[in-house]
Amino acid sequence: MIRIAIFGFGAVGRGVAEVLLRKGDRLRRIFGDFKVVAVTDSKGGLVDDDGVDLAEAIEIKRKRKRLPEGITTLDVIENVEFDVCVEVTVTNIDDGEPGLTHIRECLKRGIDVVTSNKGPLVVAYRDLSKLAERNGARLMFEATVGGAMPLIKLVRNDLAGNEIYAIRGILNGTCNYILSRMEKERLSYDQILAEAKELGIAEADPSYDVEGIDAAAKLVIIANALMGMDVRFEDVERVGITKITPEAFEVAMEKGYTIRLIAEVDKVEGVLRVSPRLVPIQHPLAIGGTLNAAQIKTDLAGDVVVVGKGAGSKETASAIVSDLVELFRCRS
């Protein structure tokens, strides 16, 4: 019986709980029996060695906005027995907390970790992966990059044996939405941004997205985890999309190009950069809407491209479940 603890019960945590609940039978057939023995948020949590009632947890969170007080995530790590932690607290790329401490404490105890939290990986990927290795635990993080766009395991598994020369991608759906609407409608950046805010595609303070911070954080994870590099967030050359004008699109389109915010790490060219780039209109990275895409340049397989939904609680849950499957398939 696999015992799961979920740390973080926002949209992603609830999405995971819903999938475990709704698809329990299917998942049990894939990786064996499991139960969720703890669920926590920043205020409290629910613990039950026999399995937390996930439907009830979701309902409590929906009604009261918080789980019952009186228990902390660190209490759970210290006092509850579990095999895998699903760490889905909010990303903080300054110091990685609180996720970083959660992940460290789990890995130290040999507990496998599946996370959607970019912060700890941006701040301390190398330390965490060494810690995992030393303690015979595994750290899985498909959901940190590109939501349901499969990239991490695709490179590690499906392209195993390949030298990875470069990865270029569209890693931020908000920017891509804004740019692809500017392409189609030639409205100003500010007009489209205002609409994106209304639609909930952009945050009230959109700087994390439009300044390329989110894409750069993901690029750091890609460089360190998939290309054997050891780079920090500060190493990324970064230009956002705020200065792009409808006229720039006009000129680009005349030549058969569009403009996209491209995150790229290229070992051959020595590039680690997030910036608006010209992309040929029919290029696989010239995608529209809030999609994410990545182009992986390899020695054997040539170029491989993946496109998928970069965000959403269901989509992120899909990535987390795929990590759980990978963990448990290899265990049994």
Which residues are the active-site residues? 218
- Of 4 and 27, which has the nearer Cβ to a copy of itself? 27
CA angle 38, 42, 43 (to 5 degrees): 85
Q: What are phi and psi of 297, to 5 degrees?
A: -100, 120
Binding mask 93-132 for a copy of itself (x = CB under 8 A): ----------------------------------------
The stretch near a copy of itself (CB under 8 A) out of 23-31, 56-64, 106-114, 227-235 is 23-31
Closest CA to 176 of 312, 275, 311, 288: 288
Residue with token string 């992309």? 279
35 part of the interface to a copy of itself, by CB under 8 A:
no
Q: Which is nearer to a copy of itself, 117 or 316 (CB)?
A: 316
- Interacting span for a copy of itself (CB under 8 A) from 75-83, 109-117, 210-218, 282-290: 282-290
DSSP three-state, residue 191: helix
Residue listed under structure tokens 């997205």: 209
- Does 225 help bind a copy of itself (rule: CB under 8 A)? no
Phi, psi dihedrals of residue 165, rounded to the nearest 5°: -80, -40
Q: Which is nearer to a copy of itself, 64 or 331 (CB)?
A: 331
Instruction: Give burial (CB, 10 Å; 0-12/13-18/19+) of 248.
Output: middle
Two tokens at 241? 């999309």
Among 61, 218, 309, 327, binds a copy of itself (CB under 8 A): 309
- For the chain, how long is the longest CA-to-CA vector? 64
Among 150, 173, 240, 276, binds a copy of itself (CB under 8 A): 150
In angstroms, how far is the first alpha carbon of the chain from the final one?
A: 11
What residues make contact with a copy of itself under the rule CB under 8 A?
Answer: 19, 23, 26-27, 30, 142, 148-150, 153-154, 157-162, 281-282, 284, 286-288, 298, 300-309, 312, 314-315, 317-319, 321-322, 324-326, 329-330
